[in-house]
Amino acid sequence: MSALVSNTVSKADSGSVSIKLIQCSKTFGNGAPALEPIDLEVHPGETLVLLGPSGCGKTTTLRMIAGLEFPDAGGRILFGDEDVTDLPIERRGVGMVFQSYALFPNMTVGENIAYGLRIRGIAAAERLTRIDDLLELVQLQGFAQRRIDQLSGGQKQRVALARALAVEPRVLLLDEPLTALDAKLRESLRADLNSLLRKLGITAIYVTHDQGEAMALGDRIVVMERGRIAQIGSPQEIYYQPANLFVADFIGNMNRISGAVQDGQLQTVAGTLALPEQQTPLQHGAQATAMFRPEDVQLAVPDGSGEGLDGCIMSSFFMGDRTRLMIDVGQALPIIVDASGRVSWHAGERVNLRIAPQAMLGVLPSPTDNQGVPS
């Protein structure tokens, strides 16, 4: 593997390239813009994940970076200092991996991987060496002569990755490459991909709608919503400091409970919660909504102390690593709680819920049209 990193994909040595999108919007036909003007910078060697629901503009952004789509007039794309806005894909030095593999079915694994090298006139002997290096890199040693239809989905995706890397791209672009695979395979290939991207140090943009994949792979994550960037940040920032309710809801589950602020506490229908200290404290008597994650709730048998929330378990799902509980606290939406799978909780049981003030991700004045989450 190290041979390949130094000989074939000498990315880390040659210096990774940054990518900059400046005011790039995209309007197809006469329709509404698929992408609003966005500014985005990808650091050299970074894996940046574009995450968001279907139709939010992830693929469009990726295809603009690839040179398969061009931004509306005025938008610019830079690789390092080079303006690539008007360059077609073959002159940008990008490698792409798609959900659908897009391999040549009539060629062997080796021929697929070497396709780009052949086009570039690389000699046969060197092609064979590179094929061996790349097969080792993606852990498919000995597969060079296999036909594509004799491969599993995971193996096909490894070949697609090797083919994308064969031409020593400046930038690796991946559009939902693991979505077609079953859950277990997806997880193991995700781990392999993660170590590969770190080893190569190549600037990579990875598109997914799966938040787990985004968290696991991204140095930073761009959360997109309807053609706009909702937030850019590290996985931890996105999870623990969501910029707005859309991000908070899209990334994992988020509980909400409303009440009145009194002496640093929130008085709710189900009891009192201590509020975190806020930069701009809410006024005594103000209505507010607190938000917290399912795993940040401590459950206990009610002790009548009046602290925390009292509720009743509506349902309990054992999920192996945890038990997910839906708890009725007397408001329209139940509170979701992830408890240890080792403790049994049953529907109908009364419970007390405590949330440490520092585990509250946001306390919003309510009712509100302000979507911000104060830190």
Residues in touch with ligand ATP (CB under 6 A): 28-29, 34, 52, 54-60, 209
Toward Mg ion, which CB reaches closer, 112 or 208? 208
56 touches which of Mg ion, ligand ATP, none (CB within 5 to 8 A by kind)? ligand ATP
What's the one-letter identity of residue 247? Answer: V
Q: How far is the CB of 19 from ligand ATP (least distance, A)?
A: 17
Residues 6+ apart with CB under 8 A from 114: 122, 127, 128, 130, 131, 166
Q: How far is the CB of 38 from Mg ion (least distance, A)?
A: 16
Helix (H, G, I), strand (E, B) or coil at 214: helix
Spell 220-239 as b/e; 16+ CB within 10 A means b: bbbbbbbbbbbbbbebeebb
Spatial CA neighbour of 218 closest among 246, 244, 251, 245: 251
With binding defined as CB under 5 A, does residue 61 bind Mg ion?
A: no
CA dist 190 and 154 (Å) reads 10
Spatial CA neighbour of 49 closest among 165, 193, 160: 193
Q: How far is the CB of 211 from ligand ATP (least distance, A)?
A: 13
Toward Mg ion, which CB reaches closer, 59 or 155? 59
Residues 6+ apart with CB under 8 A from 129: 7
Toward ligand ATP, which CB reaches closer, 58 or 127? 58
Q: Which residue is nearest to Mg ion (CB)?
A: 59
Q: How far is the CB of 21 from ligand ATP (least distance, A)?
A: 14
Toward ligand ATP, which CB reaches closer, 228 or 256? 228
> Judged by CB under 5 A, how many residues of this single chain contact Mg ion?
1
Q: How far is the CB of 336 from ligand ATP (least distance, A)?
A: 25
Q: Specify whether the CB–CB gap between 327 and 351 falls below 8 A.
A: yes
Q: What is the DSSP letter of 158?
A: H
Toward ligand ATP, which CB reaches closer, 26 or 127? 26
- State which of residues 47, 59, 157, 268 lies at the interface with Mg ion (CB under 5 A): 59
Q: How far is the CB of 59 from Mg ion (least distance, A)?
A: 3
Q: Which residue has the tokens 């130094």?
A: 6
Spell 60-95 as b/e; 16+ CB within 10 A means b: bbbbbbbbbbbbeeebebbbeeeebbeeebeebbbb
Cis peptide before 367 (omega within 30 of 0): yes
Q: How far is the CB of 350 from Mg ion (least distance, A)?
A: 46
Point out which span in 51-59, 105-113, 220-228, 353-361 binds Mg ion (CB under 5 A).
Answer: 51-59
With binding defined as CB under 5 A, does residue 60 bind Mg ion?
A: no
Toward Mg ion, which CB reaches closer, 79 or 98? 98
Pairing of strands 265-268, 255-262: antiparallel
With binding defined as CB under 5 A, does residue 208 bind Mg ion?
A: no
Kindly report the length of the chain: 375
Toward Mg ion, which CB reaches closer, 102 or 128? 102
Q: Which of residues 223-262 bind Mg ion (CB under 5 A)?
A: none
142 touches which of ligand ATP, Mg ion, none (CB within 5 to 8 A by kind)? none
With binding defined as CB under 5 A, does residue 155 bind Mg ion?
A: no
Q: How far is CA 319 from CA 43, 323, 324, in A?
A: 38, 5, 7
Helix (H, G, I), strand (E, B) or coil at 36: strand
With binding defined as CB under 5 A, does residue 211 bind Mg ion?
A: no
Q: How far is the CB of 360 from ligand ATP (least distance, A)?
A: 31
Footprint of Mg ion (CB under 5 A): 59
